[in-house]
Structure 1
Amino acid sequence: MILVTSAYGNNGRKIIPKLAKMGLDVRALNLSDKTDKLKELGAKEVIIGNALDPNILDQAMDGIESVFHVGPSFHPQEAEMGISVIDAASRSGVEHFVYDSVLHPQITELLQHRMKLRVEQHLINSELNYTILQPMHYMQNIDIGNVNRQDVFVQASALETPLSFVDMDDKVDVAVKVLTEDGHYGATYELCCDDNLNAIEIAEIMTQVMGREIKAKLVSKDVIISGFQRAFPEYGDYPAKGFTALFDYYSKYGFIGNSNILKMLLARKPTTLKEYIEKEYKKILK
């Protein structure tokens, strides 16, 4: 049986159906009670509880062979959660632990990278067989519907510095692969598509796809921060610090990666940003 943590998050909602379709038993661990929805996705069992509670974690790990763990980004206790899940997996004798981290966690100016680096180090120093996935930020973070309504692509970091992306669907395909086949113990995989683009170049692609001018616009980081804080008031002021560090770093340095590892794992070319925009825009036109 495979345990998926943060099971009703963006990753879990994509990975559980794929595993279930392969005939694999999935146990879902989620903080809020989404039992019916998780079972609709294909989870055989659901456990509701906090990833910081050792009793919940021991219950979740019972009889588990593999774990897919993704922490809640910009949560002030993300590292503690990851470490707790690793320790519970060790106690239960889990065979394989797959950790969904972030590209370039060694950039410790970024608070969420600092958190994920602590978890990576703890996992490497454990006795578990592990695989670490290091995805770039997701194409799905771009709201194509909003771009279509306003004819503007907004970004809270400098428009001129390049960023990399990865399609979450490509990342999930890799996660399923490493969970279900041999040969991935001890591996750390950077996951990034071919595109290293700045916001102006992204807006040009959107212009081509949508057939009308789309402009890139710099927005205040406070717009992003306030929206996140309204959604997660229990996180306190930590997200404000995290997002501020993120946008400041991206503005100064950009953030790019390399697609070679993702190409190897997918045995095909990764989804490009243009392909993703085309796919999402077609959905809007239907």
Structure 2
Amino acid sequence: MLNTNKKNELELIDQPILVLGGTGKTGRRVVERLKAREIPVRVGSRNGEQPFDWEDKSTWVSVLEGVRAVYIAYYPDLALPGASDDISMFAELALKNNVKRLVLLSGRGEDGAIQSEEALKKSNVEWTILRCSWFNQNFSENFLVDQVNDGTIALPVGKVTEPFIDVEDIADVAVKVLTEDGHVGELYELTGPRLMTFKEATEEIAKVTGRDIGYVELNIEEFKAGLKEAKTPSPLVELLIELFTTVLDGRNSEVKNGVQRALGRKPRDFREYVQETVVSGVWNK
């Protein structure tokens, strides 16, 4: 006969982990890893089986019912006004629904992200924060993939360096802190192993692909005009302008050891990411 504590542990194991943004860059990889380990998963998205929308708070309660932990990827970005209020309200609601742990995907150098981190810390939930640098996969998924395929990456950033992080590493860390003990109250700054400029990253892609891909530094007005010409939604335009004028000002030009601390191994190098992406064929379209 099982003792009460053992029974409670088994019941908790049967409870799903909720992944908000479960179809995004990091979220879908977290979902894949959890499913591979046969851990019950609930995907939180607007088109999910149980729909979740940050702008529709009526969807928050049902998606939290019966879950043991939540991975939070806020859409569209924690830098936007009101994000910290949403995180605070969601954490309070999670606590009322007996959710044991919240893991927040955050961004380095973003004031809005820091506010959201503080809102989570002030709650009484078990929290872990993953504060990440610029994703490698921004070059191959959505944002810059068309520019790579067109042969020119044009951005309003010059010699500022960034420790690009692979989202595969982020997903590995997320799954570990969601499913194992010893990570509550930890803030992991996740970066790649070296600093690179965007021009150097472009040259790395060109070298491995064997293609002529150039980098052009724009001024901010040229960048803004290009976004508007591409009919980019206004909130996203404002977010990108904030990113390139504030966050990418050198404040994040430092490699951190978050991946090593969480996983006990070094993070993937940008070149490894490029080599794997070339094989996928996404840059051949």
Query: Shorter-normalised TM-score: what interval?
Result: 0.7 to 0.9
Amino acid in the other structure paired with 1:63 = G
CA contact (8 A) 2:128 2:184 kept: yes
Could you tell me whether the CA contact under 8 Å between 1:225 and 1:243 is conserved in 2? no
Report if the CA contact (8 A) 1:162-1:254 is conserved: no
**2:12 aligned residue:** none
**Which residue, 91, 94, 117 being the options, matches 1:86?**
91
1:109 corresponds in structure 2 to: none
C-alpha distance in 1 between matches for 2:25 and 2:226: 18
Q: Post-superposition shift, 1:60?
A: 1.6
| Structure 2 counterpart of 1:72, one-letter code | Y
d(CA) in 1 for partners of 2:53 and 2:176? 27
Q: CA RMSD in A?
A: 2.6
- Residue 187 of structure 1: CA displacement? 0.3
**Code of the aligned partner of 1:79:** S
Shift in Å at residue 77 of structure 1?
4.0
What residue ranges of structure 2 are gaps of 5+ in the alignment?
A: 1-15
1:18-29 to 2 correspondence within 5 Å?
Answer: 18-29=33-44
- Aligned to 1:13, the other structure's residue is in SS state helix
1:3 aligned counterpart, secondary structure = strand
Q: Which amino acid aligns with 2:217?
A: L
Distance across 2 between alignment mates of 1:92 and 1:279: 41
The alignment status of 1:133 with 2:138, answered yes or no, reads no
In structure 1, C-alpha distance between the alignment counterparts of 2:31 and 2:211, rounded to whole Å: 38
| Pairing 1:56-75 to 2, within 5 Å after superposition | 56-74=59-77
Could you tell me how far 1:76 is from its partner in structure 2?
Answer: 4.7
Q: Distance in 2 between matches of 1:181 and 1:251?
A: 33
Secondary structure in 2 aligned to 1:253?
coil
- Which residue matches 2:201? 202
Decide whether aligned partners of structure 1 residues 200 and 79 sit closer, same or farther in structure 2, where only a CA change above 3 A counts: same
> 6, 9, 12: which one pairs with 2:24?
9
Q: Residues 5-48 of structure 1: CA distance to partner in whole angstroms, max 9, x if unpaired?
A: 122222222111211111111122212x2x4xxxxxxxxxx311
SS in 2 for 1:127: coil
Q: Secondary structure at the match of 1:164?
A: coil
Q: How many residues align?
A: 260
Question: How far is 1:216 from its partner?
Answer: 1.6
- TM-aligned CA deviation for residue 53 of structure 1: 4.3
What's 1:48 paired with? 51
Instruction: List structure 1 segments (4+ residues) > 6 angstroms apart after TM superposition.
Output: none
Which residue identity lines up with residue 221 of structure 1 in the other structure? F
Any idea what the Cα deviations from partners look like across 1:91-149, whole Å, max 9, x if unmatched?
Answer: 11211111111123xxxxxxxx2322222111111111110110111001114754654
The sequence identity of aligned pairs, in percent, is: 23
What code does the residue aligned with 2:181 have? D
CA deviations on 1:160-194 (whole Å, 9 max, x unpaired) are 22122100111001000101111001000000011
1: distance between equivalents of 2:111 and 2:161?
22
Q: CA deviation at 1:272?
A: 1.0
Give yes or no for contact 2:128–2:177 (8 Å, CA) kept in 1.
Answer: yes
Q: 2-side partners of 1:256 and 1:147: how far apart? A: 24
Residue deviations 1:209-258 (CA, integer Å, cap 9, x gap):
1335432212432266437863xx4xxx4333332222123564363232
Q: Judge conservation of contact 1:6–1:70 (CA < 8 Å) in 2.
A: yes
The match for 2:255 is 258
- Map residues 147-226 of structure 1 onto 2, 5 A cutoff: 149-157=149-157, 159-219=158-218, 220-222=222-224, 225-226=227-228
For 1:108-127, what aligned pairs fall within 5 Å after superposition?
Answer: 113-127=110-124
Instruction: Return the alpha-carbon distance in structure 1 between the equivalents of residues 72 and 23 of structure 2.
Output: 12
Residues 1:242 and 2:244 are matched in the alignment: no
Give, as a single letter, the amino acid of the residue that structure 1 aligns with 2:64: M
